[in-house]
Amino acid sequence: MRPARLAAGWWFAAGLALLAAGCATQQQEAFMRGVGGVDGLVKSVTQLAGGVSEPEEVAMGRGVAETLLGARPLVDDGELQRYVNAVGTWVASQSERPDLPWRFGVNDSDHVNAFAAPGGVVIVTRGMINALNSEAELAGVLGHEIAHVTRRHHLQALRKSAAMNLLGATAAAGAAGTASRELVSALVGPTQELYARGLDKSDEFEADRMGVVLAARAGYDPFGLPEALQTLARIKADDPYLALLFKTHPNPGERLDRLAVAMGPGFDALPDARQNADRFLNATRRLKPLPR
Amino acid sequence: MKPPRFPGFLLFLAWLLPVGPAAAQASGVPPETGFTLRETEVRAKPFLDAVPVGKLPERTLVTVTQRQGGWMLVKSPAFEGWVRMLNVRLGNVDSRKNDTSFLSAIGFGRRPGGMPTTTTGVRGFSEEDLKAAKPSPEQLQKMDGFAMPAAAGVQFAAAGRLSSRAVPYVDAAGKPVKGAK
């Protein structure tokens, strides 16, 4: 399987190089025939992204996480960090990929945002924690990020973007005998760019629906995520604390409208759905020194 | 070589124990204004089969005083009762007039000391900050130290009276996705 992927990568890199040069030459025609025309090219690319192994995915995510944490460090509060890991690990255990090396962290930023990196890294900002009111809300937000990881949304986005150029090039290096470490490090930069640009809207809506379900599976009130979005929905659109979140996500009102349709009445009657607001407020009390 | 994390977890779990008697799961919120997104049934209790009290037309201003599960307790001049939360949007009917800042939305404005008067000092995570960031392996290692084994997650859930249940994923139209848990 692996040699096929690398070969596909080589062809793809070569294709991009030719297409970038913008010359419809005989060479290019020969190339397109070689990969089976446009359909073949698309297929190669698909194989390539699908072929990133789990260890490579994890290594990529760790590379990205190093940079996210380089931008803002973790909040220096071990109790809070362990608490968020406990909620996250429990919610992730309800997903299709419970055995990934899940890592959750709260970083020291006043901005409201949350980030997932491939392979199981989830970082939420202190500002996001401050905007939440219960463990059920936190579970919903983490569930949304967990869904990005389990569905490999970042890898899919890279596949569709020009970053595939790099992916192809490094895969070609791999074909020449070098290790996949290069593949991994070459993908870290483009993945970071995704945090400034955002994923596809459809991926965000899917992550919302999955986040709600993951929280519900974990025993939480599934309306935690909608409630968090309600808070965000009434904040003015140009608030500096939310600038990046608003730029990279559909607006919270639209997300709520979609969730209203997707959730229907089916989530209303889950027995003993819990909010665990007390436990959340206790764990985050140092971030919120004054009672609401 | 794994760091000796376990004593940390035991302490953590011990910290979880004084959770106290089952807390009421209805959450009181400071009264907030909102409006109905669509014509909305008002009920005496937060259940679909509860007695209907009346109907609120689209874009009716309401005051939200309580939340429970997917329901909000709202007051309007005509009725007081429970409506489905996703039929209500907090804030102004005209979202362009929403001037609520993040700090007031999360309650800073209600706190002694009031709101910071400037946002230029926001400790950021802006696009620029992200692009300028340098990797920090130390921070990643620190994050590894807080990771939780799945078994500890299960204990954490039990301490919070959380039990897992089968809920299928849903598609955009709300239909269960086949083959899901």
Band the pLDDT of A209: cuts 50, 70, 90: very high
Residue A119 has pLDDT above 60, yes or no: yes
Helix spans in A198-251 (H): 201-217, 224-233, 243-248
* Pairs of CB atoms within 8 A across A/B: 278
The Cα B8–Cα B112 span in angstroms is 35
Residues in chain B, overall count: 181
Smallest Cα distance from B168 to chain A, Å:
7
Name the nearest CA neighbour of A263 among A204, A205, A203.
Answer: A205
Cβ–Cβ < 8 Å for A74, B140? no
Facing residue for B69 by CB, picked from A87, A107, A221: A221
Residue A17 neighbours by CB distance under 10 Å: 15
Domain ranges of chain B: 27-103
Tell me the mean pLDDT per 10 residues along chain B, length 181: 52 53 46 88 91 93 88 90 92 65 58 39 66 90 97 97 96 84 50
pLDDT score at B114: 38
Residue A27 has pLDDT above 60, yes or no: no
Band the pLDDT of A202: cuts 50, 70, 90: very high
The residue in chain A having the minimum alpha-carbon distance to the alpha carbon of residue B19 is: A279
> Does any CB of chain B come closer than 8 Å to the CB of residue A221?
yes
Cβ–Cβ < 8 Å for A66, B135? yes
Q: ∠ at Cα B149 (A61, A123), nearest 5°?
A: 35
The Cα A127–Cα B103 span in angstroms is 10
Cβ–Cβ < 8 Å for A130, A21? no
Kindly give, in sequence order, each residue whose CB lies less than 8 Å from that of residue A264, ignoring residues fewer than 6 positions away.
Answer: B170, B174
Residue A16 has pLDDT above 50, yes or no: no
Smallest Cα distance from A61 to chain B, Å:
11
Smallest Cα distance from A38 to chain B, Å:
31
Dihedral sign, CA of B136, B138, B139, B145?
Answer: positive
Band the pLDDT of A243: cuts 50, 70, 90: confident
Q: Quote the tokens at residue A284.
A: 């985050």
Set of chain B residues whose Cβ sits within 8 Å of the Cβ of A259: 86
Band the pLDDT of A157: cuts 50, 70, 90: confident
pLDDT score at A177: 44
Q: Quote the tokens at residue A264.
A: 């229907």
- Please state, in angstroms and as integers, the Cα–Cα distance from residue A211 to each residue in A143, A146, A249, following that order: 4, 7, 15
> Does any CB of chain A come closer than 8 Å to the CB of residue B66?
no
- Please state, in angstroms and as integers, the Cα–Cα distance from residue A189 to each residue in A4, A203, B130, B134, following that order: 25, 21, 11, 11
- Window B:77-116, CB contacts with A under 8 Å: 84-87, 89-92, 95, 98-103, 105-107, 110-113
Set of chain B residues whose Cβ sits within 8 Å of the Cβ of A223: 69-70, 85
Provide mean pLDDT across the span A157-175. 60
Set of chain B residues whose Cβ sits within 8 Å of the Cβ of A131: 102, 105-106
Which CATH superfamily is B27-103 part of?
SH3 Domains (2.30.30.40)
Cβ–Cβ < 8 Å for A107, A68? yes
Facing residue for B160 by CB, picked from A94, A262, A276: A276
pLDDT score at A255: 93
Band the pLDDT of A256: cuts 50, 70, 90: very high
pLDDT score at B8: 58
Name the nearest CA neighbour of A110 among B121, B73, B51, B24.
Answer: B121
Domain ranges of chain A: 1-51, 55-152+198-283
> Would you call B84 exposed, middle or buried from its count of C-beta atoms within 10 A (0-12, 13-18, 19+)?
buried
Q: Where are the beta strands (DSSP E) in B25-113?
A: 27-36, 40-43, 52-56, 61-68, 71-75, 80-84, 88-90
Name the least confident of A102-111, A136-145, B8-17.
B8-17
Q: What is the pTM of this model?
A: 0.78
Smallest Cα distance from A138 to chain B, Å:
14
Residue A36 has pLDDT above 90, yes or no: no
Smallest Cα distance from A212 to chain B, Å:
9
pLDDT score at A176: 46
- Mean pLDDT is highest, among A127-131, A176-180, B22-26, B158-162, for B158-162
> Does any CB of chain B come closer than 8 Å to the CB of residue A273?
yes
Q: Any idea of the CA torsion for B14, B20, B25, B26, to the nearest 10 degrees?
A: -130
The residue in chain A having the minimum alpha-carbon distance to the alpha carbon of residue B8 is: A82
The residue in chain B having the minimum alpha-carbon distance to the alpha carbon of residue A193 is: B131
